[in-house]
Structure 1
Amino acid sequence: MQQPTPRSTPHPHPLRRVPVQQRSAARLARILDACAELLEETGYEDLSTRAVAHRAEVPIGSVYRFFPNKRAIAAALARRNLDAYAARITARLTTPEAPLVWRHAMDVVVDEYLAMKRTVPGFGLVEFTVPAPRESRQANYEVADRLLGLLAARLGLDAADERLRTAFLVGVETADALLQLAFRTDPAGDPAIVAETKELLRAYLARYLDGAAPDG
């Protein structure tokens, strides 16, 4: 009997208080933007709540109202990155007049990750999890489940199918490792390694997704 793929351990919400007013939400956004900018400039080790407050032009008490420490700020930024990543993929694939081509969808998954890696401040250090210590790549379980959830309905798949969940997790882990290699080889992402990553994903997932929806 196939064993279920373990889900990532649920993490407590990084926010001490969820903003309900537009003014508070805007302040939280400034705090996360400031965190991202400082990560880009100084790295995680030199990040501090005081520096974030100064960059965001908010009182230090406003930072502590939302977060107990810098790790929680980074965790909230990682969650925002994952939400943004899912939204970017959804926007690229939302074409009601045409059936979803899963091979194209896999290219979009890789391309949107690359775009964020190249353009989003702080993403190089905080992708979908805090950078130090690395949480045994637990974020990849959430990324895999989020991607499967985005594609399942349009491909006629069962998002709770453990075999599919395992396949998407393997795909995410593999792509993660190869794309990290691409950026170690070339600061912009080595195009040959990126191309091989896409080819590998298509070949691996074909055994699970061919026939799931009209393809080209």
Structure 2
Amino acid sequence: MLDACAALVDELGYEGLTTTLIAQRAGVAIGSVYQFFPDKRAVVQALTVRHLEAFLNNLNTRLDARLGDGVADWWAIVDAVIDEYIHMHRAEPGFRTLHFGDVVDVHLLDADRDNNDVIAQRLQELIIDRLGLVDRPGLRFALAIGVETGDALINLAFRRDPEGDKEILDEAKVLIRDYLSRHVN
């Protein structure tokens, strides 16, 4: 059902999505959809959680490939985060339309926090773990600004070009690196 939802979101957008269409595309009875999800928002929320889990798993795999068991490099992590977010836009069904749920509700991942705040916290945890940094409020704030900036610029790049405007994507990396270099060291 989540795969059907992702395909339909890409084709029709969130507004065009219905539980009936999800059931038809998934080849299940509408009652099966309602057995697991009370409405289309709940289906999209589950898809968004799956996107977040895939993003974090893929990011860890990407970091393992780049860094191995060696000492993690701060900029390799930043680049990997941006590269994985770009990859998700290009390859993950439903992601380009939904991102991490902000199209539906900025509090889709957590009722008390913005979706990007949830992402920033998860990235902070990953970075602290990988680099052995001290958890401090300034780091969280800087990562939150970096996530918001990266999200806006990458979304702009994909609005301009279905594969992502290379010039904007390259500039996003420069801008985020420059900002973070002044705030996290």
Matched, 1:103 2:78: no
Aligned to 1:36: 6
Aligned to 1:113: 85
> Aligned partners of 1:45, 1:129: CA distance in 2, in Å?
13
Deviation at 1:134, TM superposition (A): 5.0
Amino acid paired to 1:202: R
Aligned to 1:140: 116
Match of 2:169 among 191, 194, 211: 194
| Contact 2:142 2:184 survives alignment (8 Å) | no
Amino acid paired to 2:124: L
The structure showing larger relative contact order (alpha-carbon pairs under 8 Å, at least 6 residues apart) is 1
| Contact 2:157 2:165 survives alignment (8 Å) | yes
Secondary structure at 2:164 match in 1: coil
Which segments of 5 or more consecutive residues in structure 2 lack a partner in the other structure? none
Aligned to 1:45: 15
Aligned to 2:33: 63
Aligned length: 179
Deviation at 1:86, TM superposition (A): 0.5
Equivalence map 1:1-216=2 (5 Å)? 31-94=1-64, 95-129=67-101, 131-132=103-104, 134-135=106-107, 138-159=114-135, 161-210=136-185
Deviation at 1:132, TM superposition (A): 3.4
Q: 1:130 to 1:170 in 2, by over 3 A?
A: closer
Determine which structure has more spread, i.e. the larger CA radius of gyration: 1
> Aligned partners of 2:134, 2:69: CA distance in 1, in Å?
23
CA RMSD of aligned residues (A): 1.8
Deviation at 1:126, TM superposition (A): 1.2
Deviation at 1:135, TM superposition (A): 4.9
Q: 1:133 to 1:148 in 2, by over 3 A?
A: closer
TM (norm. structure 2) is 0.90
Deviation at 1:208, TM superposition (A): 3.8
Q: 1:144 to 1:133 in 2, by over 3 A?
A: closer
Deviation at 1:54, TM superposition (A): 1.3
> Aligned partners of 1:185, 1:102: CA distance in 2, in Å?
30
Deviation at 1:102, TM superposition (A): 1.1
Deviation at 1:187, TM superposition (A): 2.0
> Aligned partners of 1:120, 1:91: CA distance in 2, in Å?
16
